[in-house]
């Protein structure tokens, strides 16, 4: 008598120039589940050895797929996985950053959290490392926040995302906040914000190596990160009202379209030291808006979205 094999759980691994940690990430993910899983490494605009390392790794791990995407944008990579790369019909879908390591049994723990919370659309892991990790964990547990580093979506929620053709605007930073809003608003901006739509998987965790500030390259990375935090601040001011007005299906294809629709939010406000980075972010936003007619972002998005090829 034959038995039907278990359907693998798909795992999205986001990778942009992650050659230093991608193998450790994949090792940890493959060891984090007793259920069969299939990893899809979304290598977006990698210019280092990430893709070569994953291709070599795949020789001994056939359940790891390499998805090459030419646009370096995590929101676009998320769209590629949700709407193109991920197979339909899985019970759960998992998302992990290529620069973190999942804790032992983290994938199993995320799935278990969704079993224990049938009202939840998704589940979030918690940080095991980083500055102020205790406070970060406490804030997440209190607010039922979603960590973009490692989380899960229920299969039925993924089916709804696909059926409604909901995509993230390319260029959105801090996609975890947008995914969290999708979960808590249950894909409808006119419903009650419900924290119980996210289950907190306290037995699932992730860790990452802290940034070594003795290296000049890391100071440059830190500076760029602060500017991106400011970009995210402006985007978050716009996303809430935009979702309430048009819903998630009304999200534009590009973040520049969000800026254009809400110019009143693009003003500099005093935020202490952050004000300097806000000013730099505003300069980037205005440059992007001025270049909209030349670059035709919509065409670029379509090309990148369709170029998500599995190897």
**22 shares a domain with 47:** yes
* 96-100, 142-146, 237-241, 301-305: least confidently modelled range: 301-305
What percent of the chain lies above the pLDDT cut of 70?
Answer: 89
47 versus 288: the higher-pLDDT residue is: 47
Find the angle CA(228)-CA(231)-CA(232) to the nearest 5 degrees: 90
**92 shares a domain with 66:** yes
What is the distance, to the nearest Å, from the Cα of residue 132 to the centroid of all Cα atoms in its chain? 22
Average pLDDT over residues 198-203: 97
Give the per-residue pLDDT at 222.
Answer: 83
- With respect to residue 1, please indicate whether it lies within any of the assigned structural domains: no
Give the per-residue pLDDT at 224.
Answer: 86
CA-CA distance, 10 to 135, in Å (whole number)?
31
- With respect to residue 231, please indicate whether it lies within any of the assigned structural domains: yes
**132 shares a domain with 26:** yes
Range of the domain at 222: 216-295
- With respect to residue 3, please indicate whether it lies within any of the assigned structural domains: no
Give the per-residue pLDDT at 307.
Answer: 45
Give the per-residue pLDDT at 300.
Answer: 36
Where do runs of H (alpha helix) occur along the chain? 22-30, 50-58, 74-80, 106-116, 133-143, 155-163, 175-184, 216-246, 255-261, 274-290, 292-295, 297-306
**131 shares a domain with 241:** no
CA of 286: how far to CAs of 214, 224, 257, in Å?
Answer: 33, 17, 12
124, β-bridge pairs: 151, 200
**229 shares a domain with 113:** no
Average pLDDT over residues 281-287: 93
Both tokens assigned to 92 = 């759960």
Give the per-residue pLDDT at 214.
Answer: 62
Give the per-residue pLDDT at 292.
Answer: 54
- With respect to residue 160, please indicate whether it lies within any of the assigned structural domains: yes
Give the per-residue pLDDT at 203.
Answer: 96
**238 shares a domain with 204:** no
Give the per-residue pLDDT at 217.
Answer: 67
**290 shares a domain with 153:** no
Over residues 81-136, the pLDDT tens digits come to 999 999 999 999 999 999 999 999 999 999 999 999 999 999 999 999 867 888 88
The count of domains in the chain is: 2
Give the per-residue pLDDT at 305.
Answer: 41
Over residues 174-189, the pLDDT tens digits come to 899 999 999 999 998 7
CA-CA distance, 117 to 189, in Å (whole number)?
22
What rounded mean pLDDT belongs to the chain? Answer: 89
Over residues 139-197, the pLDDT tens digits come to 999 999 999 999 999 999 999 999 999 999 999 998 999 999 999 999 987 778 999 99
- With respect to residue 151, please indicate whether it lies within any of the assigned structural domains: yes
40, β-bridge pairs: 12, 65
22 versus 1: the higher-pLDDT residue is: 22
CA-CA distance, 240 to 261, in Å (whole number)?
13
Find the angle CA(286)-CA(290)-CA(293) to the nearest 5 degrees: 145
């Amino acid at each position: 008598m034959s038995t039907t094999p278990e359907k693998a759980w798909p795992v999205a691994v986001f990778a942009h120039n992650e050659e230093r940690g991608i193998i450790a990430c994949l090792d940890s993910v493959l060891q984090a589940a007793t259920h069969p899983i299939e990893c899809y490494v979304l290598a977006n605009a990698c210019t280092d050895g990430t893709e070569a390392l994953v291709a070599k790794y795949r020789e001994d791990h056939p359940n790891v797929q390499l998805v090459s995407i030419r646009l370096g944008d995590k929101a676009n990579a998320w769209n590629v996985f949700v709407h193109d790369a991920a197979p339909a019909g899985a019970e759960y879908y998992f998302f992990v950053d290529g620069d973190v390591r999942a804790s032992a049994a983290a994938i199993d723990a995320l799935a278990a959290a969704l079993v224990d919370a049938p009202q939840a659309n998704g589940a979030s892991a918690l940080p095991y490392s980083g500055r102020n990790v205790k406070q970060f964990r406490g804030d997440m547990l209190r607010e039922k926040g979603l960590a973009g580093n490692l989380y899960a979506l229920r299969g039925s929620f993924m089916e709804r995302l696909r059926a409604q053709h909901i995509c993230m605007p390319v260029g959105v930073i801090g996609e975890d906040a947008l995914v969290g809003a999708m979960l808590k608003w249950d894909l409808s901006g006119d419903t009650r914000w419900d924290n119980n739509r996210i289950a907190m998987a306290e037995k699932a965790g992730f860790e990452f190596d802290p940034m070594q500030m003795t290296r000049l390259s890391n100071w440059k990375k830190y500076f760029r990160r602060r500017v991106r935090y400011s970009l995210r601040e402006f985007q978050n001011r716009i996303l809430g009202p935009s979702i309430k007005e048009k819903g998630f299906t009304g999200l534009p294809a590009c973040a520049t379209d969000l800026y254009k629709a809400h110019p009143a939010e693009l003003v500099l406000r005093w935020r202490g030291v952050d004000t300097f980075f806000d000013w730099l972010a505003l300069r980037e936003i205005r440059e992007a808006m001025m270049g909209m007619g030349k670059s035709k972002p919509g065409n670029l998005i379509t090309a990148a979205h369709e170029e998500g090829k599995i190897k």
